[in-house]
Amino acid sequence: AKLVIVGAVKQPEILGKIGFLKAWADQPYEEMGAISFPEVSATKIYFVNKDKAPQSEIRIGYLAMPFDADGEYFRSNVMNYALGGNFNSRINLTLREKKGYTYGARAGFNGTKIKGPFTASAGVKAEKTDSSLMDFFSEIKNFREAGTTEAELAFTKSSLGQRDALKYETPFQKASFLQRLLEYNLERDYTAKQVKLLNALTVNDINGLAKRHLPLEKMIVVVVGDKATNFDKVKALGYEVIELDADGVPVK
């Protein structure tokens, strides 16, 4: 266990209050190994009924990669910024600003020491469930196949650079930063290295990452919404659709 404290306190004051931790005795335990997941051979849609729901919740994704501070994971989140990582992303501009289907749509990678998911998500108007799915698929596909633009990459670099300057101001932010250093054994200047990596990325780099890490044909889609008005329309999209109950058990 690791304890991180940030606040208007001195180290001796805190150490005097947590001395009891030294009396804790080691207990035998086994670390949980990596969980194996079945390979996804083709994109499937899992539908969970919520009677008369005025909105549908959509999740699209796959099991991607573990966290790293300066490798493929870091670069992939930079790649995703223009696709679904900020308010001006393609996904949000299409589903929210152009179509008015949702208050917000987003996408991103979320790894830890073990593989984490890439997830695109939104809560959308019930009557626009199938249309929203089509727009999600279209934006992901277009980004992977046609790539980003110089303007999008310039905005990404500027926006991420300015955002990071404000990420470590509050006690909570400082504690989270220190916890990350300890959890992943990172160097204290790793954020400065990230800035250099960010500024060195090219459009070709971003496009290569998109082709490698946006496997739209092998993703899992979950839709929670009103079956009576949406199930048949979702099924008409041409994917295999499996209905689940609220506990995740297939409905026969």
Question: Is residue 170 within 8 Å of 178, Cβ to Cβ?
Answer: no
Which pTM was predicted? 0.91
**For residue 39, which of 213, 218, 216, 222 has the smallest C-alpha distance?**
218
Tell me the CA distances in angstroms from 200 to 16, 108, 122, 197, 241, one per residue in order. 47, 21, 32, 5, 42
How many Cα atoms occupy the beta-carbon half-sphere of 60 within 13 Å?
Answer: 29
pLDDT over 80 at 7, yes or no: yes
pLDDT over 80 at 176, yes or no: yes
Rounded-to-integer distance, Cα 102 and Cα 122, Å: 7
At 60, the pLDDT band (50, 70, 90 cuts) reads very high
Q: Residue 34 has what pLDDT? A: 73
Ranges 164-168, 176-180, 206-210, 240-244: which has the least confidence: 164-168
**For residue 221, which of 45, 40, 39 has the smallest C-alpha distance?**
45
pLDDT over 80 at 224, yes or no: yes
Read off the pLDDT of each residue in 71-85 and give the average, rounded to a whole number: 98
pLDDT digits (tens, 9 = 90+) for 102-117: 999 999 999 999 899 9
Question: Is residue 206 within 8 Å of 77, Cβ to Cβ?
Answer: no
Please provide the distance, in angstroms rounded to a whole number, between the alpha carbons at the two ends of the chain: 45
Q: Cα angle vertex 31, ends 28, 37, to 5°?
A: 155
What SS3 class is residue 102? strand
Name the amino acid, one letter, at 223.
V
pLDDT over 80 at 164, yes or no: no
pLDDT over 90 at 161, yes or no: no
What crossing angle do the helices spanning 203-213 and 72-84 adopt, rounded to 10°?
A: 90
